[in-house]
Amino acid sequence: MRWFGPGDPVRLSDIRQAGCSGVVTALHHIPPGNVWPPEEIDERRRLIRAAGMEWTVVESLPVHEDIKRQTGNGKRYIQNYQESLRNLAAAGLQVITYNFMPVLDWLRTDIHYRMPDGSLGLYFRKIALVAFDLFLLKRPDAEKEYGAGEIARAAQHLKNMSAEEQTDLYRSTLLGLPGSKEAFTATQVLNALETYRHIDAKELKGHLFYFLEQVIPIAEQLGLKLAIHPDDPPFPVLGLPRIVSTESDLKEILSAIPSPANGLCFCTGSLGVRAENDLAGMMQRLGSRIYFLHLRNITRDADGNFYEADHLSGDVDMYSVMKEAKMLMRRENRSIPMRPDHGHQMLDDLNKETYPGYSAIGRLRGLAELRGLEAGIT
């Protein structure tokens, strides 16, 4: 399970009682771009060991925006990244997760979506994002990216929302990075979006490949595996380019830098939002470079909306995914770390403050179900 560190309301003892032996974490308090010092890595590892578990997967070692844009101090941040990799390898870490999504990590328009059973889940509604973009954030020139019908529907959508719902949409969408309790301000996001205005998908891909050329040889020497997380949602948002959304994106990334250290974090919830992403088939075809599994389910509709469903129900065929994962591990005689990605806020957690998607009980339910599925398949 993922743990956000000592400030996480979910304790390590809770994670242990969920039946986990491994913990996924990161030094969230260190700003992106800075080196992760050996003492801090050791201290985090010590805490996890003291709770009877191991830290083997880093999620995430963030890539600074200057690296993604190739601006400012990008070169120095790459050197820092290399140094963090050295420090992590020295502490016995094996898998390093990262993403190359500009500005915002995952994005939802409603983080309190009430499920029929009363639990709360995360929802992405496309028209709500359009309304946010045009009328709340007021991104300059945003209207050029939408059709007249879409703009009218977005205006109507906003009109139908109460003031409270509008505030909620605003807050959900500007939510800060995972592991942070602070939301971005609109000005921060607008300024950051502006810096990507002239960077299209092709250029961003070039920047990713350059970054990989600089870090993968070092990771390979150190015996580390880098695992890129797909875009979430896997299509452009707020005018930002997306380059890790489809099977062909993943193939291109893997073949651009063909080292075994250049691999994937296979997130079924992110990739599953595109109906054409054949998850089990992708696992067959790309499996040898998958180093980390995020198992999450979603229910999507034809308009690009989706909500995070229970782990075993939804549009992701979790049985086929798990079966492929088991066959892959058997074929290659290795074990791939996996975690239940997100969970509904439910039971006692409804009265607690939790990180969206990362309350304890919902993830425990997901983990238990996935584990049962895995045992059955085995």
Question: Per rule CB under 6 A, is residue 242 in the interface with ligand DNO?
Answer: no
Task: Tell me: does residue 68 bind ligand DNO (CB under 6 A).
Answer: no
Partners of residue 295 on adjacent β-strands: 340
Count of beta carbons in the 10 Å neighbourhood of residue 264? 26
Task: Tell me, residue by residue from 168 to 187, as one string, x for binding to ligand DNO by CB under 6 A and - for no binding.
Answer: ----------x---------
Q: Give yes or no: 81 in active site.
A: no
* 265 bridge partner residues: 292
In the complex with ligand DNO, which residue's Cβ is closer, 22 or 178? Answer: 178
Whether residue 342 lies in the annotated active site: yes
E runs forming strands in the chain: 22-25, 54-59, 95-99, 110-114, 120-124, 225-229, 262-267, 290-295, 297-300, 306-309, 338-340
C-beta separation of 368 from 6 below 8 A: no
| Nearest-10 crossing angle of helices 247-256, 201-222 | 50
CB of 256: closest distance to ligand DNO in angstroms?
A: 19
Q: How many residues bind ligand DNO (CB under 6 A)?
A: 14
To the nearest whole angstrom, how small is the minimum distance from the Cβ of residue 55 to ligand DNO? 15
Q: Which stretch binds ligand DNO (CB under 6 A): 13-21, 96-104, 155-163, 248-256?
A: 96-104
**Residue 250: both structure tokens together:** 């993943």
Cβ-based nearer residue to ligand DNO, 23 or 267: 267
Under the binding rule (CB under 6 A), the answer on residue 98 touching ligand DNO is yes
357 forms part of the interface with ligand DNO (CB under 6 A): yes
The two three-digit tokens of residue 60, written as one number: 């995430």
62's enclosing H/E stretch is none
184, 97, 213, 64: CA torsion to nearest 10:
20
Give which of 170, 37, 156, 107 is closest to 304, Cα–Cα.
107
Crossing angle for the helix pair 38-50 and 74-90, to the nearest 10 degrees: 40
Kindly state the smallest distance separating residue 293's Cβ from ligand DNO, in Å: 11
3-state secondary structure of 140: coil
Beta bridge partners of 290: 264
Identify the residue among 68, 108, 225, 229 touching ligand DNO (CB under 6 A).
Answer: 229
Enumerate residues 254-273 that contact ligand DNO by CB under 6 A. Answer: 267
- Give the contact letters, 132-171, x = binds to ligand DNO (CB under 6 A), - = no: ----------------------------------------
Query: Of 20, 267, 291, 355, which one is the catalytic site residue?
Result: 267
Binding mask 28-57 for ligand DNO (x = CB under 6 A): ------------------------------
Among 157, 294, 339, 344, binds ligand DNO (CB under 6 A): 294
Q: How do beta strands 290-295 and 262-267 pair?
A: parallel
d(Cα 326, Cα 241) in Å, to the nearest integer?
Answer: 34
The single residue listed with the structure tokens 């054949």 is 278
Binding residues for ligand DNO restricted to 197-226, rule: CB under 6 A: none
Q: Tell me the HSE value of 54 on the side-chain side, using a 13 A CA sphere.
A: 9
Binder to ligand DNO among 133, 310, 341, 369 (CB under 6 A)?
A: 341
User: Out of 98, 341, 344, 355, which one is annotated catalytic?
Assistant: 341
Q: Is 245 in the site for ligand DNO (CB under 6 A)?
A: no
Q: Is 207 a catalytic residue?
A: no
DSSP class of residue 290 equals: E
Under the criterion CB under 6 A, does residue 59 sit at the interface with ligand DNO?
yes
Query: Token digits for 252?
Result: 């291109």
Per annotation, catalytic residue among 64, 294, 311, 344: 294
Return the closest-CA partner of residue 230 out of 257, 268, 203: 268
Our finding on whether 65 is near ligand DNO (CB under 6 A) is no
In the residue annotation, 265 being an active-site residue is answered as no
Residue placing its CB nearer to ligand DNO in the complex, 123 or 134: 123
Q: Which of the stretches 74-82, 97-105, 132-140, 202-210 binds ligand DNO when contact is defined by CB under 6 A? A: 97-105
Residues interacting with ligand DNO, by CB under 6 A?
A: 59-60, 97-99, 105-106, 178, 229, 267, 294, 341-342, 357
Q: Please list the active-site residues.
A: 229, 267, 294, 341-342, 358
